[in-house]
Structures are given as structure tokens and as C-alpha cells.
Amino acid sequence: MKVFLKTYGCQMNERDSEIIISMMMQEGYTSVQSYEEASLIIFNTCSVRKHAEDRVWGKLAELKRLKIDRNDIVIGLVGCMGKAYGKEIFKKLVHVDFVCGPANIYDIPSLVDRVISGENHITAIKKTKRPIKKEGTLHSSGPIRAFVNITEGCDNFCSYCIVPYVRGREISRPQKDIIDEIKQLVDNGAKEVTLLGQNVNSYGKDKDFIKLLEKTNKIEGLKRIRFMTSHPKDAGIRLFKAMAGLDKVCEHLHLPMQSGSGRILKLMNRGYTSSHYLELIDDMRKAVPDCAITTDIIVGFPSESEKDFKDTYEIMKRIEFDSAFIFKYSPRPFTKASQMDDDVSMEAKKERNQVLLHLQDEISRKKHELLIGKTENVLGLSVAKKKPDSSSNLSATYIKTRTRKNYQLVCKGDKQLIGTIFDVKVKDVQGNTLIGNIV
């Protein structure tokens, strides 16, 4: 029994996929890297953007012929698209056997058994909450970097975002359960954890997130702490000072801005203004001067004018993000924005998207080049699949690493460096990857 799982979407989806694979391995399955050799095929999906959905529809449609040729294969669509579309999926993809929402993922082994027993077109999307006690029990063996969910769902209801409708309202896991999970991960070899939530800053509803960071920082054997995503309306100087004062918390903050236009931010129901966002960036850089700041941007939101777009462009120039995920707006089911007139043409969306991508590329290149000659503290992750173009020793082993600021860095070294912390002096930049030598 072999399972192939394809993941779309964010780090929370990656964590969900890890849970799914772990469950199926407990059922006797082995994980494989291609659907051709699998007896069970699962697509873990994302509905946040239409582009991600379109890729799923296309890839799953390609499996119809495989299902005809091998009717013993079980095919499942799970995650946010499962919750959003339910039984409608079977009308488009008749060869899919079961559909499961994010809150139902612990039901997947029983759903597979039901399909094998002869049932077909099964949906499991009615649950609105996960069994919190199960959340920390399933991880891959011996991860160097591990994702740890601290919340599930979201209460923000940004007007463009489907998350509250497919992942439910926000629930915080008990602090003790999270700490126990991290300790177990460290015992199994983890050196770095990333605390995950749609809005980590609202953990516990009463600003308990900083207390959680403080307790996590005290765990022996843990070397690094990251977290995402932070919401600007709940971020502030207390968080920034905590990042400055806790030695294991990495100097990287992902703070989605979405737009530089105050008018558009209000329509998005983001809960902050562009001037407040700029104040947060200034406060962050005062508290942690060497912090990398990354963001998300949406272009072409309903009624976005040239002036609104220029506001976003100018604020990006001023802040100079280390990197940015820049997306073209697409209406999402259930959301308030889907009821608005999607009046920005696709041509304008594509043009604005390219303008911001070009701007960010220039900024990122400058940021990378400023690191040449500097020494970076890195965590060894794996053997690099691609060696630097400038490598004169093609037989040498190169190690892929991450800096504390979350930059990718490749250096020559042996496999014993994987899972260790060491210093590297940056000598070159290739694309978005730093190249260096061990100090």
C-alpha cells in the first residue's frame, strides 16, 4: 500500500500534509514520490487564491485516465477546496472518491477504508473544529525544522479571505500541549521550530503569544524559533522587544501589508492604516535593527485606482522588504469582497503585478549584495541539489542552509554539518541564494 500526497498552499497546509502522511503510515502505507506508483493519491488543497485552485482542477483532471486504467486506485481531495466545494467536486471530477475538509483530516484513514470497501463519492466536511489534543501527535521522523500549530482558524474576516469559512473560527491550543510537543520534537532531533497560525499574535486572545515565545525560548536543545503569520493590527512594540530579547527567536518578521492604500485597506477590513503599518516597521527596526521583514501584497482589489496602486508602490520603495509575495486579486467564494464588482481588468492586474515584482527584485538583489563579506550564522539543512555555478570543484559536497534572517545560503561542506549551527562568510550571490565559505 503506497500513498502519494501533493500539497498546495501555505505552511499550515504543509503541516496538515505531515499529519496525513503520518496517519497513513500508521495504517501500513509507505510514502512515494509519484502518483504512478501509488495505490492512494491525496491532493491537499488551498482555496486562498484562484490560481491554486485552477492547478488542482487541472492536475486532478489528468488522473481520470489513470483511474480508468487502474480502478483500484483511491483518489481523495482534502483541505480548503474540500470544505469550500463539497459534493460539487464530484460533478467536475467524477473519478475522485472522497472529499474532506481541514477540520475532518483525522477521519481520512476511515474514509479510505470506506472507499476500499466499496463506497464512493464520500464527503467529510461538516466538522468545524479539530480535536485539539491530537494536533501535536503526528510528525515526520527526526525533522531538523518542524512546524507546530498554535492556533487553527481565523476570526479576522478580511473581506477578500476565505480562511474563516473553510478553516473555521480561531481556536488556540493549550500552551502546555505546545511546549510538550516542541520538547518531543527536540528529543527527536529538531533544531528549529516554526510556530504556525493564521494570526499568531492573537494566540490565547489575551496576548499570550509573547509568554509562549518566552517558554519556548527556555527549551533545552532548541536552537531557533520562527513564527508566522503576524497580523499588523495585533503586532506591536511588546512583540518586537521580545524578539530582541529572546536569543533563539530569529530576526525575521513576516508582516502582510496587502496594500499601501488606506482606502483599500479599509475595504479589505484589515484593521489598520498605512501610516500605522509604517510606524510598526519603524518600531521593529529600532528594536531589532538587523531584522529581515517580508510581506504579502494584493494588486487589483476591487476599485483599486492608479493612485491606490501608486501608494502601494511608494510604500514598498520606502520600506524595502527583504522579499514579498505579490498576488493578483481573485474573488473567493463566501467572502464579502466576492460581492463587490471585480472592476480592475486582468490586463491592469498583470501589469501592476509585474511592476511590483520588478521593484521587489531590485530591492532583494540589493539586500543580498549587501551581505557579501559578512558572516552569517546558519543551520545546515540538507545536501544541496544544485551546486553554485562558480564551483571549481564539481565533486565537492555542498550544504543547503538557512540564515537567521531566513535567507538561503549554500556552502561547501560535508554531511555532518546537517542539523548543526555554524558560521559562513558570504562571498557571492546567485539569484536568491547566498554562496559562502565556512569560517
Structure confidence at residue 29 as a pLDDT band (50, 70, 90): very high
> HSE of 285 in the Cβ direction (CA atoms, 13 Å)?
13
CB 8 within 8 A of CB 50: no
pTM score over 0.85: yes
- pLDDT value, residue 396: 85
Quickly list DSSP for 143-184.
-SEEEEESEES-S---TT--HHHHT-S-EEPPHHHHHHHHHH
CB 225 within 8 A of CB 208: no
Q: For the segment 82-107, what is each residue's pLDDT rounded down to a tens digit? A: 999 999 999 999 999 999 999 999 99
Q: How far is CA 335 from the centre of its chain?
A: 21
Question: Does the structure show a pLDDT above 60 at 207?
Answer: no
Fold of 375-438: OB fold (Dihydrolipoamide Acetyltransferase, E2P) (2.40.50)
CATH no. for 260-274+284-370:
3.30.750.200
Structure confidence at residue 137 as a pLDDT band (50, 70, 90): low
**DSSP annotation of 397:** -
The three-point CA angle 425-226-296 to 5° equals: 95
- pLDDT value, residue 141: 58
Cell digits for 18?
505531515
Structure confidence at residue 392 as a pLDDT band (50, 70, 90): low
CB 99 within 8 A of CB 66: no
Cell digits for 342?
471585480
Q: How far apart are CA 307 and CA 43, in angstroms?
A: 40
Q: How far apart are CA 9 and CA 7, in angstroms?
A: 7
Q: Return the SS3 of 409.
A: strand
Give the DSSP H/E element, type plus range, for residue 116: helix 108-116
**407: how many CB neighbours lie within 10 A of its CB?**
23
Q: Which of these, 226, 216, 144, lies nearest to 180 by C-alpha position?
A: 216
Question: Does the structure show a pLDDT above 70 at 391?
Answer: no
Q: Does domain 128-250 have CATH number 3.30.750.210?
A: yes
What is the distance between the terminal CA atoms of the chain, rounded to a whole angstrom? 47
Q: Which CATH class is domain 2-124?
A: alpha beta
Q: Which of these, 96, 89, 83, lies nearest to 129 by C-alpha position?
A: 83
Secondary structure tally for the chain: helices H, strands E: 14, 19
Q: How far apart are CA 143 and CA 222, in angstroms?
A: 12
Q: How far apart are CA 409 and CA 390, in angstroms?
A: 14
Give the domain ranges of the chain: 2-124, 128-250, 260-274+284-370, 375-438
Question: Does the structure show a pLDDT above 90 at 135?
Answer: no
Q: For the segment 217-257, what is each residue's pLDDT rounded down to a tens digit? A: 999 999 999 999 999 999 999 999 999 999 999 999 999 99
Q: How far apart are CA 240 and CA 128, in angstroms?
A: 33
Quickly list DSSP for 257-285.
-B-S-HHHHHHTT-SS-HHHHHHHHHHHH
Q: For the segment 35-88, what is each residue's pLDDT rounded down to a tens digit? A: 999 999 999 999 988 888 999 999 999 999 999 888 889 999 999 999 999 999
Residue with cell 496594500: 259
Residue with cell 477521519: 107
Quickly list DSSP for 335-382.
-SGGGS---S-HHHHHHHHHHHHHHHHHHHHHHHHTTTT-EEEEEEEE
Mean pLDDT estimate for the chain: 93
User: How buried is 439 (Cβ within 10 angstroms: 0-12 exposed, 13-18 middle, 19+ buried)?
Assistant: exposed
**120: how many CB neighbours lie within 10 A of its CB?**
12
Q: Return the SS3 of 48.
A: coil
Pairing of strands 408-412, 398-403: antiparallel
CB 315 within 8 A of CB 274: yes
Residue with cell 477540520: 103
More confident residue, 386 or 199: 199
Torsion of CA 375, 249, 323, 263, to 10 degrees: -150
CATH topology identical between 128-250 and 260-274+284-370: yes
- pLDDT value, residue 363: 98
